[in-house]
């Protein structure tokens, strides 16, 4: 639906923003992206899962296995302090970028 | 529902992750696939539909694995850890071996990190080891190249030298007639060949040059089994009187003078005025008997006319298969003694001796080299003690770490492996540095030993030496690792942890450290004593009065070819003109001739007294004999103590005269005046001479050999065609070398002045081997002293650091800094003193081993021992003072607060 390059550039920011409010597990994150975008944005597991690992490796996310009563064990990812700073930067950057792109596109 | 974990595990293989990490990833991916499945079911799909939906989420498993590996980089193991993991998991682990290997690999990494974290300790340990291994490597390379490596001939063990044994004189050169009889009558040798030294003047485009070579019997090359690189060796036809004038060149001479041109074989050169055909060139690696031999010519002796009284041949032989040196010796002795009985007039009392060629070449230097090797072994022991002490100190600092590891379940064996791995890493790195150091040391050692150690050109750093260095490093590592490893097994968990983290020093480990230190000091004393004894010997040898003065004296050789100078009067006229020419030069005070220079060879003749009953054949005494010109005594400042020196009037036509030295006078004319007495010198003519003077004793054969009785004859009455010229100059002797050459050139442009050197250099070179042993042993002794000082410093400094609190307390209750200083220095000095006492006792026992290398110094020389002990104690005091000074300045408040 969208240009894959465009998707690739935004996936990290999307993942970080989805765990901002509370920790989520991998499947949950994938479903939320699909739901919130009205089905326009989907990321398959082979794309999403390595992204989670990469963000964890950089220290922006922290994964933790959690047992909840009546549920299976799942690895929940939460945002670290460093991840929070990065997300704020990325959001600001994205807004500025989109505004700039819109300005340019609007004038044509 | 299917087992999703099994599903993922069968498909996803992420290389290089730890097993635990890989399991987590599999679990998580499986968990997500299960979510897909359950969601599908929840939306009303059938089980097969849901299963296909979930299973279809991942199509390219290999790509996922690659992406996961890239994303999960912090968990990708370095290769070494994967080896460990494999070893730990592998079947070998169940047998125990793999586990130890696994620990070792991991421990080595751990150790390297630990060592880098303690640069001070690591540097000291590595420098210590490098010194030890470096010295060992360098000396072993010399021992290997000189003593151990076989000679460069095929089957060298079968080669022997055969000597004559003369009554009174011992081992001696062989008379030609005896050689011919030996060759035809022995039953133990395949071949027997003879040789004698020769030097010839080679006239070429760049002027005359004197070259050193050998005259050899034709079968020398077959005896050695040496083949020429180009051309042929000699035939039996070449080796007879009046045979072909032929020569074989060494590879070096061929390159140097003939540009390596293979066409020279068959060409003619002029050797000492006579045309000579080059028949062959030997290969580059061939030499006989020494590397400086540049050519070989046939000996061309006449068996029918050979002398039995003149001894001048070297004899080399190849034993038949399965013949031993002892058997050869028995056979040759029987043969020689039979000949002695057969020809009593010339050979009475003579025998023979067979010596393996290798022994012959290196036998004389062996004791010195073995002593140096032993010295190096002692240095290595000191190194071990030193590093062991450093490790022990370190181990006690790390006791807590060890105790915690033990508490967490590390087995004793595990801890020992860890400690040993540290020793091995140190040993190997130190060994590597040592090899480098040894490599750098070989050059100077070769320079120092050139001329005094045979075969030293063969010395180098090769595979054998490297293998030796590697083994030495490993053994060193194990040796110095033993004490700390033993220590690790004794670490008590509760004891250490109870001390609240303060590192302890159990009395056991303190004893070990003190013991090692005492041993170290004792070993240093042994080396220092040995070095001092050799040093004092050397000082005595070099300050001994040789009976002549070498100051401002230049020496060189001149040789008159028989072709051009056929008769004695011609030779005399030439030498007279040469001496007159030299003495007329402004820079030259006096010039003399002598056929054998001091320190350069031995020339003896037997003699008798016409006025006394004759000696039995074979019982005649012999004495040094020198044919000299009138100004020889003047040129060398040899005093005439009685009578007169020779004058130009002592000529062939005047009354035969001789001069003897004081030793001769003391021995044969005790209480009498020799001047005016008759002396028969057996120089061939059997002339009876009148003794006209007595001169001072001269040490002719070496500074360390007492002057023997010597007879002098005027060269006018016994002229040699090859002779030494000695010139006393007014200034530096080397400055006159050009003048001397010009004078000679003026008289005969075809004659080179060769072996030119200041006499002082010749005298100094004569003690080269002594200097070599003395310098090397001194270097090792200094290294030992340095290491002992470092060890002492380390132990005292460590004890100060442990006692900071105690020292603070003492000072708080009124101890003065001086008391603290005394206490700390005293503690260290007690150990040093124990080492000195122990070492000196050992040195007394061991010094006998160097007795043969001493000169005019007793092995139990009290001055040497006192000097050594004093030196070590002074160094020890300094090594103790530095940490003690620090202890003295401990602030009581700070010290008490530290814990």
Residue-level pLDDT at B898? 57
For residues A29-38, average pLDDT? 91
Token pair recorded at residue B657: 């005269």
Distance from CA of A18 to the nearest CA of B (A): 17
Cross-chain Cβ contact A49/B68 below 8 Å: yes
Q: Would you list which residues of chain B are within 8 Å, Cβ to Cβ, of chain A? A: 24-25, 27-29, 31-36, 39, 57-60, 63-64, 67-68, 70-74
Q: Quick check: B169 and B622 in contact, CB under 8 A?
A: yes
Return averaged pLDDT per consecutive 10 residues of chain B, 899 residues in all: 90 83 90 91 91 91 90 76 62 58 75 82 88 90 88 91 83 89 94 90 78 92 94 91 90 90 89 89 90 91 83 92 93 93 85 91 85 88 87 75 74 76 87 92 85 81 89 86 75 54 57 86 90 89 89 91 85 94 92 90 83 80 91 94 93 92 94 92 81 93 86 92 91 87 89 87 86 87 87 81 80 83 86 92 87 86 91 90 81 66
Burial degree of A105 (CB within 10 A; 0-12, 13-18, 19+): exposed
Yes or no, beta carbons of B71 and A27 under 8 Å apart? no
Tell me the ipTM for this assembly: 0.92
Whether residues B31 and A73 touch (CB distance < 8 A) is answered with yes
Which pair of structure tokens corresponds to residue B179?
């050689």
Burial (0-12, 13-18, 19+ Cβ within 10 Å), B242: exposed
Q: How far is A56 from chain B (nearest CA, A)?
A: 8
Is B73 in Cβ contact with A49 (below 8 Å)? no
- Distance (Å, whole) CA B723 – CA B721: 6
Q: Cis ω on the peptide bond leading into residue B289 (within 30° of 0)? A: yes
Q: Given an 8 Å threshold on Cβ–Cβ distance, is A57 in contact with B73?
A: yes
For residues B452 and B772, is the Cβ–Cβ distance under 8 A?
yes
Q: Across the beta sheet with A61-66, what order do the strands follow?
A: A24-25, A74-79, A61-66
pTM of the model: 0.69
d(CA B399, CA B500): 12
Give how far B10 is from chain A: nearest CA, Å: 16
Contacts of B60 in chain A (CB under 8 A): 46
Task: Give me the residue spans of the domains in chain B.
Answer: 4-77, 168-349, 562-749
Chains A & B: contacts with CB separation below 8 Å:
56
Specify the pLDDT at position B344: 85
Cα–Cα dist B874/A42, whole Å: 84
Long-range contacts of B887-890 (CB under 8 A, 24+ apart): B887/B800, B887/B803, B887/B804, B887/B807, B887/B820, B887/B821, B887/B824, B888/B817, B888/B818, B888/B820, B888/B821, B888/B824, B889/B817, B890/B804, B890/B807, B890/B808, B890/B811, B890/B820
Which one of B36, B70, B71 makes the best mutation probe of the A interface by having the most chain A beta carbons within 10 Å?
A: B71
Q: Which of B34, B35, B64 sits opposite A46 (nearest CB)?
A: B64
Return d(Cα B772, Cα B778) in angstroms, integer. Answer: 10
Residues of B in contact with A49 (CB under 8 A): 28-29, 32, 64, 68
Q: What are phi and psi of B343, to 5 degrees?
A: -125, 70
CA B630 – CA B632 distance, rounded (Å) = 6
CB B161 within 8 A of CB B315: yes
Instruction: Give the C-alpha separation, B798 to B801, whole Å.
Output: 5
The per-residue pLDDT for B508 is 64
A95: closest CA of chain B, how far (Å)? 27
> B71–A54: do the CB atoms touch at under 8 Å?
yes
Q: Which domain holds residue A38?
A: 4-106
- Name the CA dihedral angle for B801, B805, B808, B814, rounded to a multiple of 10 degrees: -130
Separation in Å, CA of B45 to nearest CA in chain A: 18
Cβ pair A44:B35 closer than 8 A = no
Q: What's the confidence (pLDDT) of residue A108?
A: 54
DSSP tag of B283? -
Q: Out of B32, B70, B74, whose CB is closest to A45?
A: B32
Q: Which long-range contacts (CB under 8 A, 24 or more apart) does B731-738 make?
A: B731/B552, B731/B587, B732/B552, B733/B552, B733/B553, B733/B554, B733/B758, B733/B759, B733/B760, B734/B554, B734/B758, B735/B587, B736/B554, B736/B585, B736/B587, B736/B588, B737/B554, B737/B556
Can you tell me which residue has the tokens 């070492």?
B839
In this prediction, residue B492 carries a pLDDT of 57
- Nearest Cα residue in chain A from B62: A46
What pLDDT, on a 0 to 100 scale, did the predictor assign at position B631? 94
- Distance to chain A for B105, nearest Cα, Å: 27
Q: Which helix (H) or strand (E) holds B379?
A: helix B366-397
Residue pair B849/B371 in contact by the 8 Å Cβ criterion: yes
Q: What is the DSSP letter of B285?
A: T
Number of domains in chain A: 1
Structure tokens at B376: 């190096």
CB contact under 8 A, B31 and A53: no
Q: Do A53 and B36 touch (CB under 8 A)?
A: no
Number of residues that make up chain B: 899
b/e map of B682-695 (b: 16 or more CB within 10 Å)? ebeeebbbebbbbb
For A27, the closest of B35, B64, B74 (CB atoms) is B35
Cα B106 to Cα B109: distance, rounded to the nearest angstrom: 5
Q: Which two tokens stand for residue B838?
A: 């122990």
- Best of A15, A50, A70 to disrupt the B interface (most B CBs within 10 Å) is A50
Neighboring chain B residues of A56 at a CB cutoff of 8 Å:
72
Q: Which of A26, A27, A71 to mutate to probe the B interface, most B CBs <10 Å?
A: A27
Cα dihedral value A46, A47, A49, A53, nearest 10:
130
Phi, psi of B421 (to 5 degrees): -65, -35
Return d(Cα B647, Cα B659) in angstroms, integer.
12
> What is the C-alpha to C-alpha distance for residues B740 and B756, in angstroms, rounded to an integer?
10
For residues A32 and B331, give the distance between their C-alpha atoms in angstroms, rounded to a whole number: 108
Q: Taking an 8 Å Cβ-Cβ cutoff, which residues of chain A contact chain B?
A: 25-27, 30-31, 44-46, 49-54, 56-57, 72-75
User: Which of B24, B33, B71 is opposite residue A50, by nearest beta carbon?
Assistant: B71
Compute the radius of gyration of chain A from its Cα atoms.
Answer: 15
3-state helix, strand, coil in chain A (%, to 5): 60, 15, 25
Residues 6+ away with beta carbon under 8 Å from B106: B80, B81, B84
Question: A12 to chain B nearest CA, in Å?
Answer: 13
CA distances from B244 to B211, B302, B452, B565 (A): 20, 14, 37, 21
A38 CB neighbour count, 10 Å cutoff: 7
CATH of the domain at A16: 1.10.10.10
CB contact (8 A) between residue B64 and residue A74: no
Tokens linked to A45: 């597991």
> What is the per-residue DSSP string for B61-94?
HHHHHHHHHHHTGGGBPPHHHHHHHHHHHSHHHH
Question: Reduced to 3 states, what is the DSSP secondary structure of residue A28?
Answer: helix
Question: Which residue spans within B205-319 are E strands per DSSP?
Answer: 207-216, 230-231, 246-249, 268-271, 274-281, 295-298, 314-319
- Cα B834 to Cα A15, A82, B827, B863, B898: the distances in Å are 75, 64, 11, 20, 34
Cβ within 8 Å, pair A26-B72? no
User: CA of B75, closest CA in chain A: separation in Å?
Assistant: 9
Which chain B residues touch A27 with a CB distance below 8 Å? Answer: 31-32, 35-36
Cβ contact, residue pair B58, A57, below 8 Å = no
Cβ-based contacts of A57 with chain B (< 8 Å): 71-74
B658 within 8 A of B688, measured Cβ to Cβ? no
What φ, ψ does residue B253 adopt, rounded to 5°? -65, -40
């Amino acid at each position: 639906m969208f240009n894959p390059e465009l998707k690739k550039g935004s996936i990290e920011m999307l993942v970080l923003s989805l765990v901002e409010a509370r920790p989520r597990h991998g499947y949950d994150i994938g479903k939320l992206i699909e739901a919130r975008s009205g089905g326009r944005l989907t990321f398959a597991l082979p794309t999403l899962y390595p992204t989670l690992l990469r963000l964890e490796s950089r220290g922006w996310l922290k994964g933790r296995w959690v047992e909840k009563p009546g549920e299976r064990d799942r690895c929940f990812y939460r945002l670290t302090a460093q991840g929070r700073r990065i997300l704020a930067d990325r959001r600001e950057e994205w807004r500025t970028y989109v505004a700039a792109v819109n300005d340019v596109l609007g004038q044509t | 529902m299917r087992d999703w974990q099994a599903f993922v595990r069968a498909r996803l293989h992420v290389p290089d992750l730890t097993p635990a990490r890989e399991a987590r990833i599999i679990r998580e991916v499986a968990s997500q696939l299960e979510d897909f499945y359950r969601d599908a079911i929840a939306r009303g799909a059938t089980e097969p539909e849901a299963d296909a939906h979930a299973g279809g989420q991942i199509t390219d498993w290999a790509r996922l694995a690659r992406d996961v590996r890239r994303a999960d980089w912090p968990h990708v193991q370095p290769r070494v850890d994967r080896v460990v993991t494999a070893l730990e998991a592998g079947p070998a682990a169940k047998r125990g071996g793999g586990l130890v290997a696994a620990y070792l690999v991991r421990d080595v990494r751990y150790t390297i990190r630990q060592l880098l974290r303690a640069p001070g300790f690591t540097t000291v340990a590595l420098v210590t080891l490098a010194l030890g291994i470096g010295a060992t490597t360098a000396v072993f390379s010399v021992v290997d190249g000189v003593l151990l490596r076989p000679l460069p001939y095929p089957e060298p063990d079968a080669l022997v030298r055969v000597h004559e044994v003369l009554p009174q004189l011992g081992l001696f050169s062989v008379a030609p007639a005896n050689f011919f009889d030996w060759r035809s009558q022995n039953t133990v040798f395949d071949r027997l060949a003879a040789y004698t030294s020769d030097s010839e003047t080679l006239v070429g485009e760049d002027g005359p040059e004197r070259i050193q070579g050998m005259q050899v019997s034709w079968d020398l090359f077959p005896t050695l089994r040496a083949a020429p690189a180009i051309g042929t060796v000699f035939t039996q036809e070449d080796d007879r009187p009046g045979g072909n004038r032929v020569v074989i060149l060494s590879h070096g001479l061929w390159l140097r003078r003939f540009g390596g041109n293979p066409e020279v074989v068959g060409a003619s050169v002029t050797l000492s005025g006579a045309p000579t055909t080059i028949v062959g060139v030997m290969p580059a690696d061939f030499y006989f008997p020494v590397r400086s031999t540049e050519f070989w010519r046939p000996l061309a002796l006449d068996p029918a006319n050979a002398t039995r009284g003149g001894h001048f041949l070297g004899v080399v032989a190849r034993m038949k298969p399965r013949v031993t040196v002892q058997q050869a010796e028995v056979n040759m002795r029987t043969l020689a003694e039979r000949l002695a009985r057969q020809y009593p007039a010339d050979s009475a009392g003579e025998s023979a001796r067979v010596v393996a060629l290798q022994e012959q070449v290196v036998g004389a230097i062996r004791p010195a080299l073995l002593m140096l090797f032993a010295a190096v072994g002692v240095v290595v022991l000191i190194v071990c003690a030193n590093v062991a002490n450093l490790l022990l100190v370190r181990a006690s600092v790390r006791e807590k770490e060890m105790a915690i590891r033990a508490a967490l379940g590390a087995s004793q064996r595990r801890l020992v492996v860890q400690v040993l791995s540290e020793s091995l890493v140190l040993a190997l790195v130190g060994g590597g540095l040592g090899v480098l150091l040894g490599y750098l040391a070989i050059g100077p050692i070769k320079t120092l030993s050139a001329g005094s150690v045979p075969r030293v050109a063969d010395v180098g750093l090769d595979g054998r030496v490297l293998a030796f260095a590697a083994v030495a490093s490993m053994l060193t590592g194990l040796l110095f690792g033993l004490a700390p490893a033993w220590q690790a097994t004794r670490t008590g968990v509760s004891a250490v942890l109870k001390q609240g983290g303060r590192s302890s020093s159990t009395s056991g480990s303190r004893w070990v450290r003190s013991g090692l230190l005492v041993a170290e000091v004792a070993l240093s004393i042994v080396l220092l004593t040995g070095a001092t004894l050799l040093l004092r010997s050397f000082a005595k040898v070099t300050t001994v009065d040789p009976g002549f003065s070498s100051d401002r004296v230049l020496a060189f050789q001149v040789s008159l070819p028989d072709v051009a100078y056929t008769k004695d009067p011609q030779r005399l006229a030439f030498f007279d003109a040469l001496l007159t020419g030299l003495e007329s030069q402004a820079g030259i005070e006096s010039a003399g001739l002598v056929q054998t220079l001091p320190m350069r060879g031995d020339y003896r003749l037997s003699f008798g007294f016409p006025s006394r009953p004759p000696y039995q054949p074979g019982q005649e005494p012999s004495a040094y004999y020198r044919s000299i010109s009138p100004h020889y005594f003047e040129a060398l400042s040899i005093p005439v103590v009685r009578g007169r020196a020779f004058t130009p009037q002592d000529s062939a036509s005047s009354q035969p005269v001789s001069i003897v030295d004081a030793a001769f006078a003391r021995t044969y004319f005790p209480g009498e005046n020799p001047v005016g007495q008759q002396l028969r010198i057996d120089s061939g003519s059997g002339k009876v001479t009148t003794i006209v003077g007595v001169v001072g004793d001269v040490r002719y054969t070496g500074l360390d050999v007492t002057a023997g009785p010597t007879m002098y004859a005027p060269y006018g009455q016994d002229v040699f065609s090859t002779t030494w010229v000695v010139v006393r100059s007014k200034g530096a002797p080397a400055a006159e070398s050009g003048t001397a050459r010009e004078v000679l050139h003026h008289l005969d442009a075809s004659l080179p002045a060769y072996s030119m050197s200041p006499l002082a250099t010749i005298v100094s070179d004569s003690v080269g081997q002594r200097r070599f042993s003395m310098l090397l042993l001194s270097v090792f002794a200094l290294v030992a002293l340095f290491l002992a000082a470092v060890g002492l410093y380390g132990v005292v400094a460590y004890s100060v650091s442990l006692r900071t609190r105690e020292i603070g307390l003492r000072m708080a209750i009124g101890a003065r800094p001086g008391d603290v200083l005394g206490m700390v220095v005293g503690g260290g000095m007690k150990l040093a003193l124990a080492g000195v006492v122990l070492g000196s006792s050992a040195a007394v026992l061991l010094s006998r081993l160097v007795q043969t290398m001493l000169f005019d110094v007793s092995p139990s020389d009290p001055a040497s021992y006192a000097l050594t002990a004093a030196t070590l104690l002074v160094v020890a005091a300094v090594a103790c003072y530095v940490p003690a000074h620090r202890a003295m300045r401990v602030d009581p408040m700070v010290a008490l607060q530290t814990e």
